[in-house]
Structure 1
């Protein structure tokens, strides 16, 4: 079968630019490697594509499994330690050479068979991003589904980016959008928001979701605090990145006004002959309020400084120990 290329664009040489770059992050997925590559190759037969696997410091034999089963379309980036899913995803996207970038997990819960339909929707509708929506999610209800639905609702309301399933890793992007998102920290769950900040046109579609057969999930309810913190940061980026005084100005003025009212009240009490010294509850309330504002401000400023540091000097937030390329003719 001849390699398939998009009917909406001129034909490109596969060696120069594959149609698709699949970015798959791996952490202790030894048993999933062979079936993952088999599913990818079966689902994308006739397409020009590359598979970029990023091993995020696995402690099992994931790397050895990839080296056994990778063919010439597979590249493996091996981190020298565990950096986290966002950093691993950023490294894979940086290495992508395809016209479109596809992200998916390496645990076999995402189905590569959904990629052709997502690609067709991306091209036919002139979209920049198509996000997967797990129509029949195969996860535990109380520990995964319900917290996820609550988080998705809050993120939609705070950011104005109306995606039903922020947690689904299966997404397809135009490459310039994917490589311009600026993934840091643990922001992979906010990828639609980062894409929207670039003016990307985003849609979604139902995709398959399978139960995990091998390995253990790396996610849990303990992520809640980090998700809330990142959500506040995304809300700031979405609404106030180019006009921070519209946020900090009213808050600062409000704090000053409250302080003045409290001081005026205490002055009246003092003039009436009452002792105002030693009121710990009032002092504690003022200190907590002002301290909270300072902490949030420091956090946001630190995030902006970090981005400036890395992007202005073209620094990476990760270090690759080895790059392995599969051999021609090798089959999963």
Structure 2
């Protein structure tokens, strides 16, 4: 591993989220310090409202490169990651779980790959995952397949927190809610060039997993949001307006059909199709109106903050050529 040092800021910021990991702190810090020997780095631990002795353990074993962010309550992993990434000042940012299942010895190799091959994101892929087969591996494989094939962001392991990013990518993702599972999708939306590599994975020794099958429904709900961001965030009228226009036209056709029946003397009162026609017309108008309002909100979002709807990777300026006289 090549040794890296920086005069102004660290090359690498390592962000680790910890929540009730009291027994893991000392071995986590020891392993991280040893793994990053020779790299100019900072270690940012985000304590997400722990109720045990996690803070005391960090203060006991932390060295001069370590920062600790302490939340006043539990906000969740996404918010904790966002806080750590916001505070990071390194050129590259690595993220990792604090439960000792990720191995910090993988970080130097991932960093080297990102630098040598100019990747914006190097994602970890747990090649030999040490988790329960039924409750963890099977749901994870299903979720990975669904996310991969619906978002068209082809990574194999969305659940692996161990990743290395260029700082501008990590700090431009806009992490909210529980979107940490979809970080690769958010990065791709910025035009990030991504790759993945096998990383080590260890069984949990201390503490309990914070995840279970209950998160499945949250993942699916967030997936719908991600698909909206991917396809319609800058043009919501195409989604809401399209649905609304179809509903409105179908409703008009139904009502026109009922009008013809009424004119030839048939009784149409109380027919379910009449109720359906009115619902489709009114619903179509509401969808179209929602699309227009969403378009106004999107324009306000970009223009009020002077945000751009595009990202420029680089600009090349050629040298001026003197003309021959």
Partner of residue 238, structure 1:
230
Deviation (angstroms), 1:40: 0.5
The aligned counterpart of 1:127 is 119
| Alignment partner, residue 89 of structure 2 | 97
The alpha-carbon deviation at position 93 of structure 1 amounts to: 0.3
C-alpha change, 1:136 and 1:281, in structure 2 (3 Å) is: farther
Quote how far apart the aligned CAs of 1:274 are: 4.2
- TM-score normalized by the length of structure 1: 0.81
Partner of 2:258: 266
Partner of 2:14: 22
Q: 1:210 to 1:275 in 2, by over 3 A?
A: farther
The aligned counterpart of 1:162 is: 154
Whole-angstrom CA distance in 2 between matches of 1:25 and 1:274: 69
Residue 216 of structure 1 pairs with residue 208 of structure 2: yes
**How does 1:177-256 map onto structure 2 within 5 Å?**
177-256=169-248
The higher-RCO structure (CA 8 Å, 6+ apart) is 1
Q: Is the 8 A contact 1:134 1:207 kept in 2?
A: yes
Distance between the aligned counterparts of 1:180 and 1:91, measured in 2? 13
Distance 1:286 1:135 in 2: 55
- How far apart are residue 91 of structure 1 and its match? 0.3
Q: SS of the counterpart of 2:214?
A: helix
Contact 1:3-1:48 at 8 Å conserved across structures: no
Q: Which residue of the partner structure matches residue 6 of structure 2?
A: 12
Q: Deviations over 1:256-301 (max 9, x none)?
A: 122123223433444454443334587479859949x86xx69x95
Q: 1:265 to 1:137 in 2, by over 3 A?
A: farther
Q: Separation in 2 of the partners of 1:247 and 1:229?
A: 17
**Could you list the per-position Cα deviations for residues 291-321 of structure 1 after superposition, in whole angstroms to 9, with x for gaps in the alignment?**
9x86xx69x95xx78x959x959xxxxxxxx
RMSD value over aligned CA atoms? Answer: 2.9
Deviation at 1:153, TM superposition (A): 1.6
Alignment match, 2:74:
82
How far apart are the structure 2 equivalents of 1:265 and 1:142? Answer: 54
**How many residue pairs align between the two structures?**
298
User: Larger Rg: 1 or 2?
Assistant: 2
Give the alignment of 1:28-107 within 5 angstroms.
28-107=20-99
- Structure 2: any 5+ residue segments left out of the alignment? 307-325
Distance between the aligned counterparts of 2:127 and 2:162, measured in 1?
A: 13
User: Kindly tell me: are residues 38 and 268 of structure 1, through their superposed partners in 2, closer, same or farther at Cα, counting changes over 3 Å?
Assistant: same
| Bigger mean CA offset, 142-151 vs 120-129 | 142-151
Within 5 Å, give how 1:308-327 maps onto structure 2: 308=301, 312=305
2: CA distance, partners of 1:286 / 1:128: 51
5+ unaligned residues in a row in structure 1: which ranges? 6-10, 314-332
TM-score (norm 2): 0.83
Report the CA distance between 1:246 and its aligned residue.
Answer: 2.3
The offset of 1:58, in angstroms, is: 0.6
